[in-house]
Amino acid sequence: MEDQQKDITIYDIARKLDLSPATVSRGLKDHPAIKKETRKRIKDAAMKMGYQNNLFASNLRTKKTNTIGIIVPRLNSYFMSSVISGMESVVNARGYNLIISQSQEAFEKEIVSANTMFNSRVDGLLVSLAYDTQNIDHYEVLLKKKIPVIFFDRVVDHPRCTNIVIDNAKAGYDAVHHLLEQGCKRIVYIGGNLKRNVYADRLKGYKLALAESGIPFDESLVIINTLNEQGGQDAAQKILEMKQKPDGIFAANDSSAVACMQEMKAAGIRIPTDIAVVGFNNDPISRIIEPNLTTINYPGYEMGEIAATTLINAINSAPGSTINTLVLRHQLIVRESSLRR
């Protein structure tokens, strides 16, 4: 009997304390117009009676939800977990809730997720685009209502959205420049859909580094796929079948780099002697594979923190945030997989 009781409301507290609901509401919120002592009485009573703020009622009134949405391609990478972790830490500290949705790397599902977020009336949205997202019309409905949308990692230019990224072109350049320094002449790039800035920009860096060394760009050395384990294996297959063997690989993520290395090792290729390899992300697996994988450190946790902070600032300041792009620092981490001298 004593479970399933009705919820305590501010009316119950008001009655008990012989105050008006309005005063109770104010007292609970530490409104300065209420006497300190009254405030204390109210809070004590609320505590004792097991009062619990009804978010739906207040959201209905105030039209703020204190909820932030996140749409990511997938949760299952070390990078993404770090990002989410960073977001959670700032969001919680600022009193917001988080709802997370996975697009499963699919455009269609991303649209559904965006609508769900809209219907849940999130105060703001953090997005990393799916692999094959074609356009971002599905975010217009939020933007039209001045709900800020911030893109991170896999971003797209939009006049009203801030982007949080690393300098992918520079990172790609750093990776390939390093391979060239190690004496590589024929370097394969394994990347994802070039619609995604991260893969396109890393390719730009690749090209720039080659150009700088006077090496002509060779289309046939660019392999595009989904960059998962299967993708890495497929890439290895392609490389093994090349008539003119490459001597370096720059892969746009560590999972594909590792899968590719395993396949090549199984085929008797020595790394780095025959082929030097550089990955991307500094995933823990880069320190498990043998030889340990040279990679680009990607500050996921910090990216999450910054994206969330920027979003909350945008939510709380009326005018369209003026920051266009925020670029975090990356770093080449050299390990054995690429060391040839």
13 vs 6, 10, 60, 233, CA distance in Å?
13, 5, 21, 65
Tokens of 262: 């395993």
Closest approach of a copy of itself to the CB of residue 288, in Å? 5
The C-alpha angle with vertex 123 and arms to 107 and 82, in degrees rounded to 5, equals 60
Residue 57 or 211 having the CB closest to DNA: 57
Determine which residue in the list 1, 2, 5, 7 makes contact with DNA, applying CB under 7 A: 7
Residues 128, 116: Cα–Cα separation, whole Å = 16
Paired residues of 333 in beta bridges:
295
Determine which residue in the list 19, 83, 91, 169 makes contact with DNA, applying CB under 7 A: 19
Determine which residue in the list 9, 97, 297, 309 makes contact with a copy of itself, applying CB under 8 A: 97
Choose the one of DNA, a copy of itself, none that binds residue 118, judging by a C-beta under 5 to 8 angstroms depending on kind: a copy of itself
Omega into 246 within 30° of 0, i.e. cis?
no
Task: Write the DSSP symbol of residue 68.
Answer: E
Residue range at the interface with DNA (CB under 7 A); choices 32-40, 123-131, 310-318, 325-333: 32-40
Site string for a copy of itself, 158-187 (x = CB under 8 A): ------------------------------
Residue 143 or 222 having the CB closest to a copy of itself: 143
DSSP result, 16-38: HHT--HHHHHHHHTT-TTS-HHH
Task: Confirm or reject binding of residue 75 to a copy of itself (CB under 8 A).
Answer: yes
Task: Confirm or reject binding of residue 28 to DNA (CB under 7 A).
Answer: yes
Could you tell me the strand order of the sheet in which 276-278 lies?
222-224, 187-191, 248-251, 276-278
Residue 62 or 244 having the CB closest to DNA: 62
Contact residues for DNA, defined by CB under 7 A: 6-7, 9-11, 18-23, 25-26, 28-29, 33-35, 38, 51, 53-54, 57-58, 60-62
